[in-house]
Each structure stands twice: as structure tokens, then as C-alpha cells.
Chain A
């Protein structure tokens, strides 16, 4: 950092001066951290805002109401439509009941969610971020509360900058109080997915619920309040990996919220004066309406950026201004990079600057027909169709598997030690661990029998007599019945080598049967 021998003082020829400035001098010192600059988004209104209210209503309704939906499964199973029953290792979703070994359905759902993400992002861009992400929905909800108590942008800024007063204190206490209440309700709703909702609500209120329920509520209250109320846009910008992943999946055919500078530039706040001077004038009047509504605190006119969650509120704000100025809407709009580039080329022609006259009819001020407008054809392309196809195929595959899955299942394990037991009368006995799974919430009567093992008799270890015929077995609803099965083949019928055969369970009521192949082992010297 130093430059030696730069100069020599005449009076002191032995001393050198250096051309240097202290790295950490007070004037140069970087702050150790950057304080967050508060964002006070103004309320927007328009078609996208209305759509976002609707999405918010739907998603919050789903979240809060789902655990309370009842679904009759008979007396032997819970009547909650959606229930993750960790204690009994069952997952209920309306007419579907999933056992732990069927976890591949969940894996399939995750694969579908992954492909769905590809499909959505490659076509409509970061729609998840802008509309459906819980962070976005809950921040919107928290902002509703904030606006109701503290007013819109200007009132909030004034209140924030002002000194502490009884009024400010009251408003802040009310705001944070309601935020915390929403947090409690958010965490409170979550736990109902894991136990019978009415019972658990009663237990929670009367302080009889298990500790983990309260701990979950406390944790989710804290995260909801912190993320939705305090951190807000910082969660998306700093903490969430989603923007990076989604950003990597966008291409020139994906929708992004775009400032159409090919018609907006050169922007000016004094259009009349500029026109009088004969200067080119774009549509943007530099009113900053798009900036004040942005919950992420960015200026969309700087181009597409990581922080943008494509909530489209700037589109609403700008459309409102354009309508009032009697100009065509869509200065800020959903557009693909492809369409944008075409329009940009149109506006520039062979030159290097945007010429408003090239995209605008001089007489009417309307945009010329050559301007490419983004519609559904802009986003449909082989890539999105392939995603759609894969998604549909996996969905159909899962539906087929679900439709064909058997509510009766059988597992058989042959004893390994001993493989066989020789009995006094010369007969040979083999032992098997048999598990019969009744995956319906109804008790059922099945019979167990053998196929392909002549001369065999069956018995269960815990009693019952030996019999050659089918043995009736009672299955409890929604349970696994473990059986210790002995198969015995008499001296006369004994095969000379191990024989494969099948163990069959059959439900005479429905005709449904399941069978598993196993082996009957015989001693070496008998072969």
C-alpha cells in the first residue's frame, strides 16, 4: 500500500515521505454491519392485489380449516380428514390411509412437487414466491394489521420517525400484540394436524396437552412473529435458498415482472416541457409509485433482480398511474425476456438509444402493432410441455398404484435357526413368522391356507389344534397380526428336497387374497 521514495524533503534529505492513506482512518472505515433500512410499503390496489387477497384467503383457509374437517372411517379409526398420527404411525388424507412402509407415496408427492416447481418456474416464474409462499402470505397478513393500526406508508413513516409518546406506545403495543396473537394462532393450528383437533383444543385450553404441543406453539409463534413481523423481506433476500434455485430455473421464456423501458425511457417528470423542447419522451413519469408499493424495497426499473418476488404490486401501482394519465397500461408488466428483447430491438432500431417514436404511433400515442405483447404463446415451449408430461405421468402412476393397492397384505419369514425340526414320529416341522396386515379400519375374517405342499398340517404356536385345512383368522381393524406358524409334514409325505410352496390369506367376504412364496426345508440325510 505504500509507494516508496516518492519525494524527498529539502530540509531533511534523509527522511522520506510516502504517498499513503491509513486504511482504517475514520473517514475511510467501513461500518462493521449494515443496519437494515426499513421498508414502508404503500397499499396497492388493482387486479393483482385482488388476486393476492384471494390467494391469501384460500391458503389461510386451507391452513386453518383443514384439521377441523371430519371424515367418517367407522368406529375403529379417527374421523379427522387429514391427520398425521405419529403415535400410531398412520397418515390419513380423506379416503387415503398410508402406513409407514408406504412412504413411497410421500416420496412420489415430493417428486411431483419438484417437477411442479420446474413447470411453474419455467413458465410463470417466481409465482410461488409472489403469491403462495407462507412468508409472503403471512407478511401480507401482518401488513394488514400494521396498516389498520398505524395507517398507510406516510403515517407509518411519520410515526416511526416521531418521538415516543403515549399514542405511539399504544399503537406499537397493539400492533405487536396482534402480531403475536396471529403467531400463536399459526402455531396453534399446526399442532391440530397431529392429533384429534377438538380433543387437542380442549386439552390445550385446559392446560392438559402434552408439553410438545406447547413447545411447538411457542416455537411457531416465535418464528411467525419474527419472520412475518420483524424480518420480512430479509427472510427472502438473505435466508431463503429458493430465490437462488428458482433464479437458476428461469430462462428467456419465463414470465418475470418487467419494467418495459423500451416504452418507458427516457423517463421525465416534466413531459410537456421536454416535448416542447423537442426531446424524446417515454411513458415513465418517474412518479416512483412502483417503488413505494414494493414490499421488497427495490426499484423494478433497475431490471430483474434477486430480491424481486414477482408479487406484481408494482404492476398494479403503475397501471393505476398509466390509466389516470390516459396512457396504455402495462409499462410494468409480466413479460418474457424474449419478448422484452424483441421490443427493445424495435425501440432501438439500429441505434444505441431508445427512440420512443419507433414504438409509438405519433398521432394517437398508442403503441404500434409491431410491439410484441406477452401472452400464453410466449411461455409454452417444449421444455414446459415436457415438464407437464412428466408431471402427468408420475401423477397417473401414483393414482394407479393407489387404486390398485391392496388393503390386505402378508409377510412371511422362514425360521433360519433351526431350518427344520425332526419329530419323534419321523415328521419334519418348519417354523414361520407370518404377519397379516389388515389395512382397513374394519375388523375382518380371513382364512390362512397352503398351496403346493401336500400332506402338510398347520398349527399356531400359541395354541389351537393341528389341521390340514384352512385356518380362520380374525384380524383387528387397522392392525398387523403376527402369527407363529408351524407347518408339519409327516414321514410318508416328506419330500426328498426343499420344496417351494405358497402361504395364502384369503378374505372370503371380498374374495381378496394375497400369497407369498416360501420354502419347506427337510434334513440332509432324508434327501
Chain B
């Protein structure tokens, strides 16, 4: 092994390593390759100086360029905010009804409202704003407190029966059964009268029922049960029911009514966010 081991075919020296008769040639590197390799080493060293690299005990070297991914994120977020800045200001300054007339602004407000809705509203109204028993569906054309953009905005801003907002929508349906205003047979008669307005099974219009309805219900729910938005009296002559449209449910609601509470979001989220939410909810298909 003292002499060079020369490959017969190529005339090139081998490294002496052999696998099943195949020997590794010891060709020198091309010069450009070598310099590229050196270049990479120099670059790598420079990189570790310029950028955070060397691990220390509790952190790492910060690098002379002062780069950090956190600062990068802050910059990006600030840039994103700045990009919204003008639009957000315009939303703040434009009345909700006028936002609807401006396509670009409405699209922006709706997108913002959609994400706000997911965070603040979906817990009660559902992610698709379909609501559930006791929580209104916001997609349909039934609005207890009104379905115009201004009315929706007011409802979101001040809430319903909110203890924190003096301007909140407020009404209370009397405890007709529990407080002894009507007797149990009377409740049954008037419940059947109400059910008959929208063709619910078990509904029956009677003279007594009509009289009871006119005396006790019409002042808030309207002469024909068409509802009264100013007082928040839901309409009783349609197919949309907050507490289910069955005879039992109607009876129970007259006996001892349930009342939902919605927080006043105006003070918590601010006027601009409320406006975005109103635009979003108005655009779900039921807005008037």
C-alpha cells in the first residue's frame, strides 16, 4: 500500500476504498466548487453575526441587524392596521345606511362585522346567526325590535333588557298565570286563539278567545297579532316563533313568560364595531 493506487481505466489515483471491486477515484475538486464551498462558510459565519443564531443559556444572540420575528410580526400587524386605517375611519364617519350604498365600504364593514359576530354574538345567536329557542334567528324576516339598519344598530348598541344601559330596549310580558291575571282555562282559550292566527295545530278561534286577546294581548301584540316593533311585541300571526310555535309552548309562555337579555354592545365594542355588526346582520338576508 505504499505506492499510489492508480485506476487502470481512468489513470486517476484512487482513495484505496473499495466496495465489491468498485474503487473510489480521488479526483480533485473543481475550483469553482471549492470557492463556492468557502463562500458558503464565510456567508454562514457572517449570517450568525448579522442574525440571531448562537444559543446562550436563557436566550440567543440577537445579531447586529437587530432582526426578530416578533418585531417582524408587529410591523406586519401595524401595516395591516394602517392599510385598514382609512376604511375604518370612513366606517366610523359614515352613517350605517350610507355604508350600505357604498359597495367597497359595505364589503369591508361586512367582513369586519362577520369576524366580530363570531367572537361576540355566535355564543347565543349561533355561528350561522340561526339562533335557537329563546335566541332570535337573524337570517329571517321577523324582527322583534325592527329590521332596518338603524333599528338593528340600535338593538346591538343598547341591547335588550340590559341592566347597564338606560336606553336599552325594555318590555316585560305580564305573568298572566303565575300572578293570577288569567285562570288556567282562560289561558288555554287564549292560547288556542293565538295558535289559530298562524294555523298551529290545536289552534281554535273562539269569541271568548278573541275577547281575552283584545283585553290582554292586543295592546302589545297588535289587534290581529301582527306585533308592535315600537314596544318589542313579537308578531303572533306568522310562522317564526322565538319560543317554539306549538300550543304547549304558547300556553307556557302566557302562564309564566320567559324574557331574553341581550347585552348593550355599544359601550363595550364602540360605535364603529357596532356599525360593522349591524351591516353584517342586516346583510344576512332579512334586513329591511
A contact residues vs B (CB 8 Å cutoff):
1, 3, 19-21, 28, 30-36, 231, 234, 238, 415-418, 421-426, 429, 431, 461-462, 486, 491
Contacts and interface: CB of A to CB of B under 8 A. Distances in A.
A-B residue pairs, 6 tightest by C-beta: A417-B128, A424-B238, A421-B139, A34-B28, A33-B31, A426-B239
B185 interface: no
5 contacts: A20-B2, A36-B32, A234-B32, A424-B141, A491-B239
B33 A32 contact: no
B30 A34 contact: yes
A19 B285 contact: no
A234 B28 contact: no
Given A238-B33, A417-B128, A461-B285, A28 B4 contact: yes
Given A423-B239, A424-B240, A426-B239, A32 B34 contact: yes
B13 interface: yes
Contacts of A19: 2
B137 interface: yes
A462 B140 CA distance: 16
Contacts of B139: 418, 421, 429
Contact of B283 (A28, A30, A415, A461): A461
B130 interface: yes
Interface in B249-275: none
A416 B128 CA distance: 9
Contacts of A1: 1-2
Contacts of A462: 103
Chain B interface, >50% SS class: loop
Contacts of A425: 238-239
A421 B28 contact: no
Contact of A34 (B4, B31, B137, B286): B31
Chain A interface, >50% SS class: loop
Interface string B19-43: 0000000111111111000000000
Contacts of B238: 424-426
Contacts of B164: none
A421 B2 contact: no
Contacts of B142: 423-424
Given A421-B139, A423-B240, A426-B239, A33 B283 contact: no
Contacts of A486: 285
Given A424-B240, A425-B238, 19 more contacts: A1-B1, A30-B26, A32-B28, A33-B28, A34-B29, A34-B30, A34-B31, A36-B31, A231-B32, A234-B32, A238-B30, A238-B33, A417-B128, A421-B285, A423-B239, A424-B140, A426-B238, A429-B139, A461-B283
Contacts of B1: 1
Contacts of A421: 130, 137, 139-140, 285-286
Contacts of B103: 462
A228 B127 CA distance: 61
Given A33-B28, A423-B239, A418 B13 contact: no
A508 to B, nearest CB: 27
Contacts of A415: 128
A32 B29 contact: yes
B13 A30 contact: yes
Interface in B116-166: 126-130, 137, 139-142
Contacts of A3: 2
A424 B235 contact: yes
Contact of B31 (A35, A416, A417, A426): A35
Nearest to B29: A33
